[in-house]
Structure 1
Amino acid sequence: MDGALLLSLALAVVLIPLSLALLNRLRLGRLPPGPRPWPVLGNLRQIKPIRCRCFQEWAERYGPVISVWFGSGLTVVVSTSELAKEVLKENDQQLADRPRNRSTQRFSRNGQDLIWANYGPHYIKVRKLCNLELFTPKRLEALRPIREDEVTAMVESVYRAATAPGNVGKPLVVRNHLSMVAFNNITRLAFGKRFMNANGDIDEQGREFKTIVNNGIKIGASLSVAEFIWYLRWLCPLNEELYKTHNERRDRLTMKIIDEHAKSLKESGAKQHFVDALFTLKEQYDLSEDTVIGLLWDMITAGMDTTVISVEWAMAELVRNPRVQKKLQEELDRVVGRERIMLETDFQNLPYLQAVVKESLRLHPPTPLMLPHKASTNVKIGGYDIPKGANVMVNVWAVARDPKVWSNPLEYRPERFLEENIDIKGSDFRVLPFGAGRRVCPGAQLGINLVASMIGHLLHHFEWSLPEGTRPEDVNMMESPGMVTFMGTPLQAVTKPRLEKEELYNRVPVEM
């Protein structure tokens, strides 16, 4: 009797999981292949920290479309331009929703912003606002003086550091000088405020702003593994008071700035900053307070780190490739000369600079897996079944390094973008730093302009080289883990002024 009972229990232990797996297979259909998931954890223990590289390795083993199980949740990752087109164009509407974890659910107030909103009437309305009002060529041109002001402030910062007594010939940490531009630029564009003075000191509101950004990052990164296993979340409840306090602090600062602008509007009329635009368009587009605040912080989230990341990677490639650096400087000297500084209006006459920007974004997209999409219905990708509710990622890092569509894909060669006219704003699926389709980044042109301006000024004003004894292959070109990928080791480089007139290194301030 005991033996029969033990045999029955043993069979149950074996058959129940097999039966559940079979039922799951029948329910989900023919899923893409992928690494064998563990019970409960799925592939969480197998995923390496730098996910774009990990998923590329798995794609080489299992095929260009793979299943990855984050605990109990299915994520499908595609790694070729053909499959990217299937996701972002042919099945765009069915895959236009956005998965929200418990953290982004609270930060976005259930998707009341743009980034984390599901595809539907709210998203369409807010997207229309971005396309027709916020990121128009007219507004970007009106805000150009702010960008040029902040880039010249960066030049002044680098010049002071490079020429300070005892610093000549010594390497500087490039990222430190880029971060200042990104911080000042995005706060001025979004809020119409420069929180940092000429000496680099941040005022009270600026310190509060930085604290809110840093706290948001810490809170968002504090989610446990139970976030991926829905039936274990009751064991790890969120600290709701922490989120409530953070959101109230963020809203309080934002509303204070909005109120300041409302008062200024009555006295001097509307300006071109995004906060003024949203305030004046609030009724026309029926925007809630949550949406206005969400949009402003979307711009900050999307625009601050990505600019620093893009330019630092570009500078790393340029110091490792003196030929490209010299060729770009020759173009700048020919078009701009050495008697004035470069302006954004020069871009149309600087094709090699544009090619350098494109090649840098090809090899080093700041969001290498884009933000995840979510299937609102069952679809097929690459002949496989993608069930409703599954997440879908495009590994744009792998797509842009695919040897089947790129010649010598790991070589940094901007000339490839002169030999062929390749768009990087979503119409060519071989290179997708800003995504494509309904979820393409509405601020792509703004980002391109700022990155091009920063690179152009850094190369026009200065010569850059590696520290003495450092070879190009010694530079650590590994990414940091995360949704956005900084250089894992901050770039250090030696710089030397190349323009003779000292006044060309001064900031050109603009009050707007």
Structure 2
Amino acid sequence: MVLLLIPLATIIITVFMLYQRRWRSNIPPGPPPRFLIGNLNQLKPLWTHSFSEWSKTYGPIISVWLGTQLAVVVSTSDLARQVLRDKDYQLSNRHRTARMTQNGSDLIWSDYGPHYVKLRKLCTLELFSTKSIECFTFMREMEVRSMVMSIFKDLVIDDQKPVMLRNYLGSVALNIVSKLVIGKKLEPKEGKEFKSIVEKETRLPGAMKLLDHALWLKRVSSWFTSDKVFLKHMARRRHWFRQAVMDQEEEYGEREKCLVHSLLVLKQRNELSEETVMGLVWNMLTAGADTTAITIEWAMAEILRNPAVQGKVQHELDSVVGTKRLMYESDIPKLPYLQCIVKESLRLHPPTPLMLPHKASESVHIGGYKVPKGTTVYVNVQAIGRDPTNWRNPNEFRPERFLLEETDVKGQDFRVLPFGSGRRVCPAAQLSMNLITLALGNLLHCFSWTSSTPREDIDMLEKPGLVCYMKTPLQGLASSRLSQELYLELYAKID
């Protein structure tokens, strides 16, 4: 017992000295931390809400202690510019906590360096170049039309049954991303298993915020707990990956060019490990499918709460597209109000409201305060998008605000940052915008939507997590807007 107390006492004394040194330094103000656990006990399940409330008290840049780890949170566009542009190089590393991030061998969780640059360049050339985006336009259009037909067929069976949009949106987004990444759509069984694995990850013990951030507690807990659950989950993920991706390696040369084809070539040359290949494919599948479905669901929720917006965008669609055909991706530049709806939804409901955590590779100064080396830095994108100094009536869903001025949402305008900015900006921003606008436009062109409950009762609460799902899946009543012959013609083409 005495031998156990000695290292524990050493840890406590070391941590106390660290606190004392940092409290005396010029770090940003923030809520007083408790010894060893910091501010973890004060955090609400939705961290963005706690950060926003503390910012009103302590200022737009605050210090928050996540256990023994110092985090700095910025909540204004000017401070975001300093983090993501002015001090971008020093703040481009990743803070990895949850064990799902592994050792940073993938793209999303790797530190900024040669490995990250290599993977990002590969993804950009294979998936996200202008040429690549144009080449896969037809595939995206066909998948969106397949979603429209699925909804239409369900309406033929029972047009009074509410449509749970998440089911359709999740499928179309995953189909498109999997076709881009692995050159095929996932089989129903593969897709179901993939979604189950992703959902399981959010409930693993290793994702608990206290164990993730309180290093001393993590070390102590490891003496009494095993990793069996985590290891079993990772074995399940590897098994899925090998069956869905690796076991069909010989087929990739015969398919349309995709990311995995290039990854496997590099793996054969020993330039990439299998762990990196799996991590990169997992990044693309999870991030691409989730964020697309999330954004469209939030946009549809706001539209159901604001029928006038639906009327305006459908008038625009009828004027540009007409009622004799469906909307194509090439129609998007001629549909400014539809584009404004997407931007307004991303402003109010960014898929990752805190971005992913950055980490200081060296000490820097932000907003006049010191950010010590090793500090985790969060950009509160949701708070910035709702900042009244940037936006009039910021909590109101009003797409017209984007008609007044041209606003970039892909990293150049720091008032709205759904895709981040700087070295870690999302490489798929343009592809995401195209897909979101295409899918949303077809939903509104092909169907009229009303809420299955009173508009004021639509649950607009968020589900806690890195990505911001609606807590209650959105349901709406749909009715066909176009001629039945057009749907039948579409059915014949898809079938």
**Same-fold call, TM > 0.5?**
yes
Structure 1 residue 170: Cα displacement: 4.2
Determine if contact 1:149/1:507 at 8 Å carries over to the other structure.
Answer: no
In structure 2, the gaps of 5 or more residues are: 1-12
- Give the partner amino acid of 2:324: E
**Contact 2:127/2:180 (8 A) holds in 1:** no
- 2:105 equivalent among 69, 93, 112: 112
Whole-angstrom distance in 2 between the partners of 1:312 and 1:248: 32
Secondary structure of the corresponding residue to residue 204 of structure 2: helix
Deviation of 1:341 after TM superposition, in Å, equals: 0.8
Cα pair 1:104 1:220 within 8 Å, conserved: no
Q: Mean alpha-carbon deviation: is it higher for 51-60 or for 472-481? A: 472-481
CA contact (8 A) 2:183 2:252 kept: no
**Counterpart secondary structure, 1:75:** strand
Distance 1:322 1:240, change over 3 A: same
What residue is the counterpart of 2:435 in the other structure?
450
Residue 57 of structure 1, CA deviation: 1.4
Q: Which runs of 5+ in 1 are unaligned?
A: 1-14, 197-201
Distance in structure 1 (CA, Å) of the matches to 2:383 and 2:285: 27
Paired with 1:21 and 1:500, the residues of 2 have a C-alpha distance of 68
Q: Which amino acid aligns with 1:23?
A: R
Evaluate the alpha carbon distance shift between residue 373 and residue 492 of structure 1 in structure 2; reply closer, same or farther with a 3 A threshold: same
Q: CA deviation at 1:258?
A: 4.3
The percentage of counterpart residues that share the same residue type is: 47
Query: Aligned runs of 1:343-358 on 2, under 5 Å?
Result: 343-358=328-343
Does 1:408 pair with 2:393? yes
**Cα separation, partners in 2 of 1:71 and 1:259, compared to 1, 3 Å:** closer
How many angstroms does 1:380 deviate by? 0.7
Alignment of 1:101 onto 2:97: yes
Distance verdict in 2 for CA 1:62–1:331, change over 3 Å: same
Confirm or deny that 1:192 pairs with 2:192: no
Contact 2:46 2:465 in 1 (8 A): yes
Note the 1:112-511 alignment, pairs <5 A: 112-164=105-157, 167-196=158-187, 202-203=188-189, 205-219=190-204, 222-223=207-208, 225-237=210-222, 239-259=226-246, 261-266=248-253, 268=254, 271-280=256-265, 286-467=271-452, 470=454, 472-504=455-487, 506-507=490-491
Q: Could you tell me how far apart the structure 1 residues matched to 2:201 and 2:493 are?
A: 31
Change (3 A) 1:31 1:366: same
Match runs of 1:31-42 below 5 Å: 31-42=27-38
- Distance 1:376-1:464 versus aligned 2 partners, 3 A rule: same
Classify the secondary structure of the residue corresponding to 1:45. Answer: helix
Q: 1:306 Cα shift? A: 1.2
- Quote the Cα distance in structure 2 between the aligned partners of 1:477 and 1:291: 37
User: What CA deviation, in whole Å up to 9, does each residue of 1:295-337 have, x standing for no partner?
Assistant: 1110012112211110110001111111111111111111111
Using structure 1 for the length normalisation, give the TM-score.
0.87
Q: Partners of 1:344 and 1:454 in 2: how far apart? A: 9
Q: How far is the alpha carbon of 1:348 from its aligned partner?
A: 1.5
Q: Which of the pair has more CA radius of gyration?
A: 1
Is 1:23 equivalent to 2:21 in the alignment? yes
Distance 1:17 1:308 in 2: 42
Q: C-alpha offsets along residues 452-501 of structure 1, whole Å, 9 cap, x if unaligned? A: 11110110001111236x1x332222211111111122222211111013
Q: In structure 2, what is the Cα distance between the partners aligned to 1:265 and 1:16?
A: 53
Residue identity opposite 1:484 in structure 2: V
CA RMSD of aligned residues (A): 2.5
Amino acid at match of 1:120: G
TM-score of the aligned structures, taking structure 2 as reference length: 0.90
Change (3 A) 1:275 1:369: same
Question: Alpha-carbon deviation of 1:282?
Answer: 5.0
Residue 105 of structure 1, CA deviation: 4.2
* Distance of aligned partners of 1:222 and 1:125 in 2 relative to their CA distance in 1, 3 Å threshold: closer
Query: In the TM superposition, what whole-angstrom CA distance separates every residue of 1:138-197 from its partner, at most 9, and x where no partner exists?
Result: 112222222222211211122223332xx334433222222221232222222223234x
